[in-house]
Every structure is written in structure tokens, then in C-alpha cells.
Structure 1
Amino acid sequence: MNTNLTSEPAGRRLAGELRRRIVSGDLPEGAQLPSSSSLQAEHGVSSTVVRDAISALKAEGYVVGQQGKGVFVASADQRSATGDAESLVERVAALEARVKALEEARAE
């Protein structure tokens, strides 16, 4: 699944994928995220990448951790406007990086 043409960090890509699954309802409110080892295997990334992605989603308000239980999709009430704004900024930056990479590839 790591076939991205951009130089976007793996943690950001994984966070984006999980965010899309949350927003689409594939991971509904209250659902437990797959385990770190499952995410590592599914996405071909290290535990550090998974940790970075989960940390980003926590900072954005998409997920909450429960010590000893796992990480769960936050309810809409738990999500902050700040997290949504940060998510938007992150998505714009990711799109800009993709456009730049495509432009560079096209110029070669």
C-alpha cells in the first residue's frame, strides 16, 4: 500500500488514510482502531510511523486513547474546531506536496 509518489512522511500518509476511514464512517464513532501491529502489517510501516499517525489523530481530536484498552474513534462532540482546522491545513499541505511531486515528475 506504500505506493505514494510524494515525499510525504509515512506517518502523515497513514494518519490521512485513517482520517479518511473515520470521516467516511468505515471507522464509526466509538470503534476501536486496529492494533499497532495490524496497522504496521497492513501498511508496511514501523511502529514509530504508527505512533506518529495516532498522535496526529489524537491532536486533531479524531481519536482518543484509553490506557490498557486501545485507541477509539472520538465522537463528534469530542472533536474540536481546532482539530478540524489543523486537519484542513495538513490536508492542504499534503495536496501541495503531491502536486509538486507530480509537476517534478512531469518535467523530467
Structure 2
Amino acid sequence: MTAMSGTPAYVQVAADLRSQIEKGVLPEGAQLPSMTRLREQYGVSNTVVRDALNELRREGLVVGQQGKGVFVRSRDAALAAPATEGLEGRLDELAETVRGLERRLTLLEERGAVQGRREPNG
């Protein structure tokens, strides 16, 4: 659903979600669709969806609740958010990146162990 316009896909997804929030299609307190649903809806990868949601977090439009999902923030809460709010979102983003790297490293290590067993002893 993203256009081949030269604009990064995450920017396009964020713009569409931002528009839905501004128009009230996604009202204050509403839960955004799941990562899987957004990925299917826009025809993009998890990385694109994650980056789009992080963009909206940085703008103060949405807030994540661990284990529950991502929700549209009230305008009052977004305006009154402390300066540390951006830091919390950035820390969440970095933590997710580290978890992804850990998963990738584990897969690489497992593949290396399998390949190591196949190599002849010399």
C-alpha cells in the first residue's frame, strides 16, 4: 500500500496513521492495530512498522504499553508530556533493537555450530 515515491515506507505509514489520528479515525485512547495487522495492511516489513510507530512516539501522538499495545495519546497528555518522555521512547526503541540483535546473533551462532559440525577435522 506504500507508494514507490522515493519517500521511505516508514514515513508513508507514519503519515497515514498520523492522518487517521488527526481526523479522529483513531481517537484518543484507541489501540492501534497490531504489528502483524499493520504489516499486512501496508504491505511492509516489521522494521517499517516499528520505525513508523517510533516516529509517532517521538511526536507524542502514541504511547506503548508493555504487553498491551500502542495507544493514541490524549492531546492534553501529549502537550503536558515531560521532556523525559522522548527519552523513554528512545530507550524502548533501543531495547527492541538490542533484542532483535540478540535474536539474530543466536541464529548466527546456531548456524555456525551446525556448519562447524559439517567441516572435516583437520
Q: State how far apart, in whole Å, the 1-side matches of 2:10 and 2:79 are.
A: 21
Q: State how far apart, in whole Å, the 2-side matches of 1:59 and 1:19 are.
A: 12
Is 2:54 the partner of 1:59?
no
Which amino acid in 2 is paired with 1:30?
Answer: G
Q: State how far apart, in whole Å, the 1-side matches of 2:50 and 2:34 are.
A: 11
Report 1:80-99 matches (<5 A): 80=79
- Structure 2 counterpart SS, 1:79: helix
Who is 1:33 aligned against?
32
Which amino acid in 1 is paired with 2:29?
Answer: G
Shift of 1:5: 4.5
Report 1:1-108 matches (<5 A): 1-2=1-2, 4-80=3-79
Who is 1:89 aligned against?
none
Identity %: 55
Which amino acid in 2 is paired with 1:75?
Answer: S
Q: For the Cα contact (< 8 Å) 1:57–1:63, is it kept in 2? A: yes
Q: For the Cα contact (< 8 Å) 1:65–1:71, is it kept in 2? A: yes
Task: Name stretches of at least 5 consecutive residues in structure 2 with no aligned partner.
Answer: 81-122
- Structure 2 counterpart SS, 1:78: helix
Q: State how far apart, in whole Å, the 1-side matches of 2:65 and 2:39 are.
A: 20
> What's the TM-score once normalised by structure 1's chain length?
0.71
Which amino acid in 2 is paired with 1:50?
Answer: V
Q: State how far apart, in whole Å, the 2-side matches of 1:14 and 1:52 are.
A: 9
Aligned residues: 80
Larger C-alpha radius of gyration, 1 or 2? Answer: 2
Q: For the Cα contact (< 8 Å) 1:15–1:57, is it kept in 2? A: yes
Q: For the Cα contact (< 8 Å) 1:10–1:45, is it kept in 2? A: yes
- Structure 2 counterpart SS, 1:30: coil
Which amino acid in 1 is paired with 2:46?
Answer: S
Runs of 4+ deviating beyond 3 Å:
none
